[in-house]
Structure 1
């Protein structure tokens, strides 16, 4: 069996290792340059590879192809493979049959990383033998090749779900759905929503789907579709006999005739959106039979995720917050919503078809100045130019942070929450967040 892998990033290299171990004839092809450390792994494992090209004759003879989530279906080589009827899978689809571990799959436009990390923290703190993978950390396929975990917590992007056929998690979570990556879905929101719901398409009556019962896109989907999975909703406003909700500042969860309650003030994560993430993760912990005392302790000591509403420093009584992971409007909505002081907002980058209107009331209420940090800031200026007193354009992080310091008074907050991708000025959102943190430390 010939396994061809397109893209030699974390998921590609992991799949190559697993494929080789399972007796496939493996070939790795990357249209860009392969990083040195990954190249070494390929050479040590005697796996054939090429870089800066896709040689058709070496690819179109595949029995099965795993493509990196970053490569769109519209790319010429993928089109040729699909035209020949060669299956093109995601890493998740390829690796899942080689493990009998319990899989918890988490997707959503926002909150999925926090929910994934918190779920992993809850299970690991309880002493479970659990792996963390998917869109985060070490490749799932690589872990399946090298480790013997009893459970996996996987963060799944819509691109990874697009490449599944039979994959099914025992427990699935959809944190929420809001417009994102529409450039990859022909600018049709319904295509993106359908992509997220692929997480439950193979689930059976034995499986569970945990979801936000207040989310408009999710609620609409349920009006015309069904899943066989047992439904566990969570909500900030509704109550359920089976599900999770917040009532009188208490998180209450009822699953399989078992109750769990905890005062929200003892939960380490702050903000309404994080209460939702906590309800989703705790629902998994309940399904996995984790003791109540362990759940309470884990929820109260969880550190949060880097680059997601991360408090950096307080300088002259001004709080600097790094929310570089907010790469879409909905994520910035949650960030602005959680601000309790006058805010200088650093925003901008590569726009993925953003509609800034939904932020208008929050900007009016909370934002005193906007610093545009992007190559093209026209949409942001058009949207908010008349709404805030001060609007400044900069093209590097040091200028953004110095300007923010000038515009603040005691008691204010400086929030980096870009609502955009980072590729115009930075390598990725981590690089953007790290540059922000360094610039703040240099003040």
Structure 2
């Protein structure tokens, strides 16, 4: 890592722990800063804070006392989950104290260039695909961010020979100052996290931070099928690399005659795979810009079974293929899943009722032969299923019971897809728990 002197003898407050806060606090301490850590969890229940205290770092736990800011801090490193409306953050900004996230810190110390991936849907899959393609191409990638290891921890170990492939949320991107990836990727933008950002405009502005420091020497891979992403591209100084699932785009990635093309070159054949085409186009563009050979790209796509809970291939039973897309907590994600298949689908859907209807799904339900519903939204999904002309619709108690019912209605060649279009919290603690129950139920089938 770069032995920077930026923080030597500077008073820095790390607000909120979890993995990123612990890593950032320890790193800043090694860089010679006078670090104070403030976390809401009581010290007696906080092993992370206890460990930092043993390293000689000042720790204040149990609350976020605003008066702590009177101690003359020159910087705050904020946990991404803490909203900017938090009184500590608001007071700090009023006092003119800069607030960053540890992603910014990772960029400052890294000897390796970054490939940064953001967007509403598909970030994790795209990040994983890019990492695997670079690895297959012997480019020595490291993976970081929301997937993998804390960014500043990865950056501390990286050398000039590495490339850090990092998934970035809007929360993290709000706290960057100089962060500048060699390649930035924006998969898509839909309404999300508006409770945190306050408006779609603020959400888009946060996403746009991924390219705000890029120059004409860097690249921005951007969705050419969305007005929101096109507008971000217009404001960027980077070289724009568009991708499209709908049209041929100059200087970018697109589908033509069953192949992925990049800058006029036929790269890899795309048979129907359980990975969103948008994700593939993003990953191919980033890999080609990084000098990866077509053979390595093809090798990855042929063997890739998906990230767990994200259109993940689970198993084949008696000619039926099962896919776990429990991460599909909104309609857009379920639409993306449905468009990945051209075979008959038995769809398992339902979950938390957030007040919305599901009419946007109707055009994409044409290949759904059976709809199995569960959870609070079961009646709403059944209504749109009938409007879409699905002949067999059945309600069950939960995901565990949905699997054998779906199998009973299925035939060889069918896809049985868990893609709920809803959050899990009416029945399950997380979408991961929901997906694990689906996987277990598939493996219990006789």
TM range (shorter): 0.7 to 0.9
1:223-274 deviation digits (Å, cap 9, x = unpaired): xx421111111122322441122211122212xxxx6423424x7x715x63
Aligned partners of 2:277 and 2:340 also within 8 Å: no
Task: Select the residue among 274, 278, 281 that pairs with 1:279.
Answer: 281
Q: Secondary structure at the match of 1:10?
A: helix
The alpha-carbon deviation at position 50 of structure 1 amounts to 4.5
Q: Which residue number corresponds to residue 148 of structure 2?
A: 137
Aligned match of 2:260? 251
Alignment deviations for residues 115-155 of structure 1 (CA, whole Å, 9 cap, x no partner): 11111112122222322111111000112234436321111
1:195 aligns with 2:239: no
Structure 2, unmatched stretches of 5+, are: 1-9
Given that residues 183 and 352 in structure 1 are in contact (C-alpha distance below 8 angstroms), is that contact kept between their aligned partners in structure 2?
Answer: no
Give the 5 Å matches for 1:307-386.
307-350=309-352, 356-363=358-365, 365-366=367-368, 368-373=370-375, 380=381
- Equivalent position SS for 1:334: helix
Contact 1:318–1:409, Cα closer than 8 Å, also in 2? yes
* Aligned-partner Cα distance in 1 for 2:88–2:174: 17
Pair 1:49-2:59 in alignment: yes
- Compared CA separation, residues 90 and 393, structure 1 to 2 (3 A): farther
CA distance in 2, matches of 1:316, 1:2: 63
Contact 1:329/1:354 (<8 A) preserved: no
Bigger shift: residues 165-174 or 34-43: 34-43
Alpha-carbon contact 1:131-1:153 (below 8 Å) kept: yes
TM value normalised by structure 1: 0.86
Partner of 2:273: 270
Query: In the aligned structure 2, how far is the partner of 1:213 from the partner of 1:148?
Result: 34
Correspondent of 1:182 among 194, 208, 212:
194
Q: CA deviation at 1:175?
A: 1.1
How far does residue 442 in structure 1 lie from its aligned partner after superposition? 2.8
What is the CA deviation profile of residues 96-127 of structure 1, one whole-angstrom value per residue up to 9, with x for unaligned ones?
A: 11113211111111121111111111212222
1:69 aligns to what? 80
| Maintained 8 Å contact 1:168/1:200 | yes
Q: 8 Å contact 1:106–1:116 — kept in the other structure?
A: yes
1:380, distance to aligned residue in structure 2 (A): 4.6
Decide whether the 8 Å contact of 2:305 with 2:313 is kept in 1: no
Q: Show the counterpart of 1:171.
A: 183
| Contact 1:351-1:420 within 8 A present in 2 as well | yes
After TM superposition, give the deviation of residue 57 of structure 1 in Å.
4.0
What's the counterpart of residue 85 of structure 1? Answer: 96
Aligned residue number for residue 436 of structure 2: 434
Q: Which moved further from structure 2: 67-76 or 171-180?
A: 67-76
- Of residues 4, 11, 18 in structure 2, which corresponds to 1:2? 11
The change in CA–CA distance for 1:434 and 1:204 in structure 2 (over 3 A counts) is same
Task: Label 1:341 to 1:249 Cα distance change in 2 as closer, same or farther (>3 A).
Answer: closer
Query: Is the 1:346–1:373 Cα contact (8 Å) retained in structure 2?
Result: no
Matches within 5 A, 1:420-431: 420-431=422-433
Counterparts of 1:354 and 1:74 in 2: how far apart (Å)?
27
List, as ranges, runs of 4+ consecutive aligned residues in structure 1 with deviation greater than 6 Å. 33-37
- Displacement, 1:71? 1.9
Q: After the TM superposition, which of the residue ranges 90-99 and 333-342 deviates more from structure 2?
A: 333-342
Q: Which blocks of at least 5 consecutive residues in structure 1 are unaligned?
A: none
* Residue pair 2:110, 2:156 contacting (<8 A) in 1 also: no
